[in-house]
Amino acid sequence: MAVVEYTEGEISTIQINRPEKHNALDRQTLLSLQEKISLADSNKACKAVVISGAGGKAFSAGADLNYLLSAESSTEAEEIFDLFYRVTNGIWSSEKLFVAAISGYCMGGGNELAMACDFRIASPDSVFSQPEVKFGIPPGGGATYRLEKIIGLQKAKDMILTARAVNADEALRIGLIDRISHDAISESKNFCKSVVQNAPGIFYAKRSINGGIKLDSSSERSNFVKALLSEEAKSKISGFVKPHDNK
């Protein structure tokens, strides 16, 4: 079964399909996401895309930690960062409307994937966090420069530096998500149908808005690569991975 399911249409859907791993993002999943985002972007009939995670327990728990541990050189660490950047930038720079339909865990790289979307609709049980500092690394999927644009500098620092979890109610209050729904996928599809009635104006408007926001990933990239290769980070990540792999 494909790690990312894609359904084409005026409202296309992309679903991360690794429920046994809480839809964690490894190299294969990121490559498949990049491919499906490109397919939707190039499809003239497609006006909007809903991204979700299979299983209902997680939109995505973030980067697969074994994937992070696989980096043994600066080149390999840079490749991990750059692949994730291509995925999120593919969403950000697309003229299509992207909506993240979130249920359960939306953490680390999963939260960063959702942040690249234009809107986020979440179930009441959703949980959001940027836990990377617990593993001795900074976020590497855009949180250090995109989260501030969404919720403000101090709230972004709070989430990133404390690594604390935010529930759906708080996420709505601070502007991290746009709506709460018991059926986030259906709500996201209906929302897309209402918004795309304003096509093609929305395509020009999205390009104008996102094109006017200057996002610089260079500092995040250099710090992520340096930290990921440190002995402290490898020890902390390994210490978390090994007990969980043995379950």
* Active-site residue flag, 132: yes
Q: Which of 10, 35, 78, 112 is catalytic?
A: 112
71, HSE (Cβ side, Cα atoms, 13 Å): 28
| Helix 153-162 with 143-151: angle, nearest 10 deg | 130
Q: In whole angstroms, how large is the CA radius of gyration of the chain?
A: 17
The answer to whether the beta carbons of residues 98 and 49 sit under 8 Å apart is: yes
- Map 120-172 to HEC letters: EEECCCCEEECCHHHHCCCCCCCHHHHHHHHHCHHHHHHHHHHCCCEEHHHHH
Q: Which of 84, 1, 87, 19 has the alpha carbon at shortest distance from 49?
A: 87
* Active-site residue flag, 95: no
Q: Which of 35, 132, 148, 232 is catalytic?
A: 132
The residues carrying an active-site annotation are 112, 132
